[in-house]
Amino acid sequence: MAIREIVPHTDNFIRKTSKPVKEFDEKLWQLLDDMHETLDAVVGSGLSAVQVGVLKRAFIININNMVMEFVNPEIIKTSGEQYKKEGCLSVKLPFDYVKRPFCVTVKAFDRYGNPFTFTCQDWTAVCICHENDHLNGILYIDKICVPPKWVKEQEEE
């Protein structure tokens, strides 16, 4: 395993569209293992392959030590809305509000090519949407918004 260098948002590479994974082989497993080690080292909620310089449609999340891998993910259902402050390991700018669905269902493959479906909500849904955007060259800074008044009122409670 190895810690890989994270591509900053100032590098145009981060804007490239990632390509579907075709081989669920040792090269993919090495990549995913390295991504876990990299994410552990920097401490974050998620990391996509493009962020370590590989244009493969794959990302990992680590939320309160719930670690998951998503290969060739596809968000198939969303509902509700939420506004949370997001940051990104590639973006050295302040966290800011982004509008996301509150609930997300994602279809993906594990590292061995087995398909699965995962439904989640709240912060996990935010992370899935954020990482999935990376695979299409989209960053949270493209989506910063002013949250409705009820969001700040809720946070102050």
Residues that bind Ni ion (CB under 5 A): 88
Selection from 145, 102, 141, 98 nearest residue 124 by Cα: 102
81 is a catalytic site residue: no
Distance CA 69, CA 157 (A): 34
Q: Nearest approach, Cβ of 59 to Ni ion (angstroms)?
A: 9
Q: In a 3-state reduction of DSSP, which class is residue 76?
A: strand
103-109 vs 91-100, strand pairing mode: unpaired
Q: Nearest approach, Cβ of 110 to Ni ion (angstroms)?
A: 22
Q: Nearest approach, Cβ of 46 to Ni ion (angstroms)?
A: 7
103-109 vs 82-88, strand pairing mode: unpaired
Lookup: tokens for 53: 């310089």
| Catalytic annotation, pick one of 26, 37, 131, 156 | 131
Of the pair 95, 112, the CB lying nearest Ni ion is at 95
First to last CA, the chain: 44
Of the pair 88, 104, the CB lying nearest Ni ion is at 88
Of the pair 5, 23, the CB lying nearest Ni ion is at 5
- Which residues participate in catalysis according to the annotation? 131
